[in-house]
Structure 1
């Protein structure tokens, strides 16, 4: 039987043990468990700003948009792909507000699931879903887990560190990365900027890393019609929000609906033999 997965102290790398309402290591570094049930394992020295990651407004927009089912085809394909791997342990790195974790928890009833995000607001939203999932505020570039902890690590539209993925993945583990295709949200980009904007995913980082082998590749395509009341949430959850002028935003919010293609790439990577 495999050992239980433990959080690793972000300060001294020793194992953290749950003690009442906090986690602590043998060096007496202590991390309180929030009332929502998550733990903050992002020390000041790992923060790039006072409140790193997505803001409350972005997280709220994403949650409200996703709950309308616009990305349901992606969620179904992702869950089916992961079920086929039959993981006993899974980490969602950059889990956001927990939309995909909730889908996975419903199907992977026996697996141990963890979710981390650098955004405290995102983890708070995820914790409010009341899932049987271990959640932590933490950086994808310094994952608070020991070597070889997980059967599967997933990253959906989130930053990754190939060094950290290789470290926390079991020897026979799998990394699943979801990123945008060239046509993803093309309708939104054209409406805002009059032309499509190329997307950059994380695939090249893994494709060029000799520690990983590409073993599966899927594409999920579709077209959605976004209702007027949901357009502001779609914009608010994308990087386009920061590129648009107030005038562009106002023009977008005045249209009655938005038609746009969706294009997701789902790639699976195994670790190369040592």
Structure 2
């Protein structure tokens, strides 16, 4: 709920604290933001740099994740997050799926889902009783108080190193999930999807240095057996849907043997202050 995360939020215009009524969130200087009927609040201070995922992409992501295909990744993220209480902020939260898993692991936490896509925000606001969903541009200044976040998550999402470092508490941890070159390798070749650079993990570490350094790093790798519908959801929830085009993907998926077997392979890295 939004009331759970209000102590961690800041007005995007003046940086002041926020309080809530039934239908709006306000700061002491009078800046007000309406709460959507789905339960999220939009704290954009201006025009967003990106539009975010479409309703179709979000629906594909929800279908794939809710089916449990990436459950090992959710468990790995929860493990890397540790057992600290306080607020967990998922920057680029999507539907709130991984954030909900982290909250389930430690019941006294609250979760802040930061996301630009309205269709994703609608789902994130309902993903867990202790999630507050907030619309913002993850490439800009986040509407979050400095040094207040115990755990920050960045799962297959854009990274804003300066803001991730700013919001993190002195003893906080940032958990980043990124694909390896082996992630969905068979599908990538068969369907002509976007490939992963071989130095992806090193590039991320370089982005976050020198303020944040890796403290733990584990590879999460497991086999997937997917129906054709699952494959279409998997492709439809990511940027490859734009790169290849869904009509082309459908044609290529239709000739694959079913179930479609592939390997999920990601690196889960916990970063702490240098």
State whether structure 2 residue 226 is matched by structure 1 residue 226: yes
TM, length-normalised to structure 2: 0.89
SS in 2 for 1:145: coil
Cα distance in 1 for residues equivalent to 2:56 and 2:79:
30
- Are 1:94 and 2:92 matched, yes or no? yes
Which residue in the other structure is 1:12 paired with?
14
Q: Are the counterparts in 1 of residues 194 and 243 from structure 2 also a CA contact under 8 Å? A: no
Give me the whole-angstrom Cα distance separating, in 1, the residues matched to 2:229 and 2:105. 31
Kept after mapping to 1: 8 A contact 2:80/2:270: no
Q: CA 1:121/1:107 → structure 2, altered by over 3 Å: closer, same or farther?
A: same
| Contact 1:160–1:202 (CA under 8 A) maintained in structure 2 | no
Q: 1:29 aligns to what?
A: 31
2:6–2:19: 8 Å Cα contact kept in structure 1? no
Q: Residues of 1 paired with 2:120 and 2:250: CA distance?
A: 24
Check the 8 A contact 2:49/2:137 in 1, yes or no.
no
**Residues 43 and 134 of structure 2 are in contact (CA less than 8 Å); yes or no, is this contact kept in structure 1?**
yes
Q: What does residue 138 of structure 1 align with?
A: 136
SS across alignment from 1:63: helix
1:115 aligns with 2:113: yes
1:149-190 superposed Cα distances (whole Å, 9 cap, x missing partner): 111111100011111011111111111100101110112111
Counterpart CA distance in 2 for 1:29 and 1:78 is 36
1:1-274, aligned counterparts within 5 Å? 5-43=7-45, 45-48=46-49, 52-82=51-81, 84-141=82-139, 142-193=141-192, 197-199=195-197, 201=200, 204-208=203-207, 209-245=209-245, 246-255=247-256, 256-272=258-274
Report the aligned-residue RMSD: 2.1
CA contact (8 A) 2:115 2:134 kept: yes
TM-score for the superposition, normalised by structure 1: 0.89
Deviations 1:41-86 (A, max 9, x none): 123x24135xx1111100100110111111111111221222x342
Structure 1 residue 203: Cα displacement: 5.5
2: CA distance, partners of 1:26 / 1:233: 44
Q: Secondary structure at the match of 1:62?
A: helix
How many pairs were matched up?
265
